[in-house]
Amino acid sequence: MVKPLQKLGKIKRKGPVVLLIMDGVGFGKYKEGDAVAAAVTQTLDRLYRENPWTKLKAHGTAVGLPSDDDMGNSEVGHNAMGCGRVFSQGAKLVANSIETKAMYEGDTWKKLIRNVKEHDSTLHFIGLLSDGNVHSHIDNLKAMVAQAKVEGVSRVRVHALLDGRDVGELSALEYFQPFEAFLEELNDEDFDARIASGGGRMVITMDRYNANWKMVEKGWHTHVLGEGRLFASPTEAIETLRKETGAIDQDLPPFVIAEGGKPVGTIEDHDSVILFNFRGDRALEITKAFEAEELIEFDRKRRPNVEYAGMMEYDGDLHVPAQYLVSPPAIDRTLAEYLTKSGVRQFSISETQKFGHVTYFFNGNRSGKFSETLEEYVEIPSDTVPFEERPWMKCAEIADRVIEEIESGKWDLIKLNFPNGDMVGHTGVYQAVVCSMEGMDLQIGRIEKAVRDAGGVLMITADHGNADDMYEHTKTG
């Protein structure tokens, strides 16, 4: 329980404080590929000239990630802004739990292993196969598969999603092929581990904020039912689908690995399933598909009776999933909690793609409001077309509503997130990202005028970079 904050009596203002978060907009290390610098941003250029500003670190240990080689991301960036302190994040907590073997001593891991041994059934892993360390890390998966063999599990199936977003956009085979070799080394007459299915992370399974449940439905059909296009190996699937579609990894269509014309790894009754992603936003919907007694979002056709667990608790208020392997960071004393205790009226807004960031993540991974009377949340529905086709996204609609709320005089704090830099940045389409920056800059100008006219204070920041680095680099530069 927090106590009300003491007011600073010397500071006088009429209008609200407006916190404007430019998602995925940073200072580029390289001139080449810096779409932020290349864009015509008259408003931001003027604000830099006329006002004090500084640079902030939004990656690595500065925001609670394991090392300074780890890129920042929207989740940890909003956590840091919302609490003003550094907490060990999911990536670090999971790595420590595996390194110390604390995970394997936990009740959930023991229950999952016991289930498959008692029923001579399959242990399934679902998640993102890369070392991006934003949603998952391949080393965690390898450690768990190896431990499963040590503990007497006979059959493992991996449902591997292609990344191409937190790592190189065409890097999938750099992860899939060594991982297949790793499994082959483990396999013997008593242990059989294989990749069973896959697909691009922006096509199947990893939807968030209820934006596109069709993605989750495709994932269910692919991983659980084994329905889809059949291939003899992941390499064949990836190479064939790349050639046919021209898609980068995150957009690759789903595939099922088969032998003798039958899927090698459908999910059946009495199996155990681990979602090995540790980040919550893109884990909640597939978790609901496994756990909900009744699901209205799509027809599951069948719901196997499995022991299901997430790598972490993805939502601490809703307690989702029911079982998890590692406890998430306990983030308390957040800004929103202090402000509501102090009677400060707050308005939060973004479009669907980042709505959860200015609410759930900003509030310390907490669902819901601290006060129904002092807070209001508004979500502008995101476009369902590819972001490069409409790179301005909903920044004008967000700005319209923010200006309306500024002029209303109802709020002491207004916080908003413009997703353009991150969401369009992830498409890799350079000119679209430049366009997104210019569209956002126009709306910042409108908001700045409204704040000035109202006698308020405008604070502009970002959660991490992305649009400033559109060319591929290794983690060491």
Torsion sign over Cα 110, 116, 117, 118: positive
Sole residue written with tokens 């499995």:
306
**Structural contact between residues 105 and 142, judged by C-beta atoms closer than 8 angstroms:** no
Separation of alpha carbons 212 and 215, rounded Å: 6
Separation of alpha carbons 320 and 331, rounded Å: 17
Q: What Å distances lie between residue 94 and 22, 262, 317, CA to CA? A: 29, 35, 20
Whether residue 321 has a cis bond before it, omega within 30° of 0? yes
DSSP state of 249: G
Query: What amino acid positions are annotated as catalytic residues?
Result: 74
Given its phi and psi angles, is residue 301 left (phi above 0), alpha (psi -120 to 50 degrees) or beta?
left
Q: What Å distances lie between residue 91 and 274, 288, 323, 348, 475, CA to CA? A: 16, 22, 18, 27, 17
Q: What Å distances lie between residue 423 and 361, 428, 432, 463, CA to CA? A: 17, 10, 11, 13
Separation of alpha carbons 78 and 5, rounded Å: 21
**Structural contact between residues 311 and 133, judged by C-beta atoms closer than 8 angstroms:** no
Separation of alpha carbons 361 and 206, rounded Å: 17
Rg for the chain (alpha carbons), in Å? 23
The CB density around residue 427, as the number of other CB atoms within 10 Å, is 22
